[in-house]
């Protein structure tokens, strides 16, 4: 297991798959990061050199991931609640926000 920026990443996974273990990085973003750093599509995490790992951590440190992103999202939701928007009220009541039906689901 490789410990990078507070997240344990499995060594035998492909780099683009292992990057999705970070909160805020999906498959598309992971592929973009790999292409930006010119990693092979099937390159595993254990095959990376120390300099490549340093480049990877440098790129990841520039992005809002993990706690920074969680804090940003919760601040946005709190702002919506504070100004009293419809979406903020739905968040406060714990009800669906994006127009889903409430007749059958989300009663609990």
pTM: 0.78
Over the stretch 56-83, which tens digit does the pLDDT of each residue have? 999 999 999 889 999 999 999 999 999 9
Contacting residues for 103 by C-beta, under 8 A, at least 6 apart: none
Give whole-number Cα distances, 70 to 4, 40, 65, 75, in Å. 18, 30, 8, 9
Over the stretch 23-35, which tens digit does the pLDDT of each residue have? 999 999 999 999 9
Q: Is the pLDDT of residue 98 over 70?
A: yes
Q: Is the pLDDT of residue 9 over 70?
A: yes
């Amino acid at each position: 297991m490789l410990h990078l920026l507070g997240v344990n990443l499995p060594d035998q996974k492909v780099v683009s798959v292992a990057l999705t273990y970070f909160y805020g990085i999906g498959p598309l973003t992971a592929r973009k990061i790999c292409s930006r750093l010119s990693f092979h599509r099937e390159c595993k995490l254990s095959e990376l050199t120390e300099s490549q790992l340093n480049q990877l951590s440098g790129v990841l440190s520039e992005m809002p991931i993990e706690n920074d992103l969680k804090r940003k999202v919760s601040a946005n939701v709190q702002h919506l609640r504070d100004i009293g928007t419809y979406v903020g009220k739905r968040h406060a009541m714990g009800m669906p926000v994006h127009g889903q039906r409430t007749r059958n689901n989300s009663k609990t």
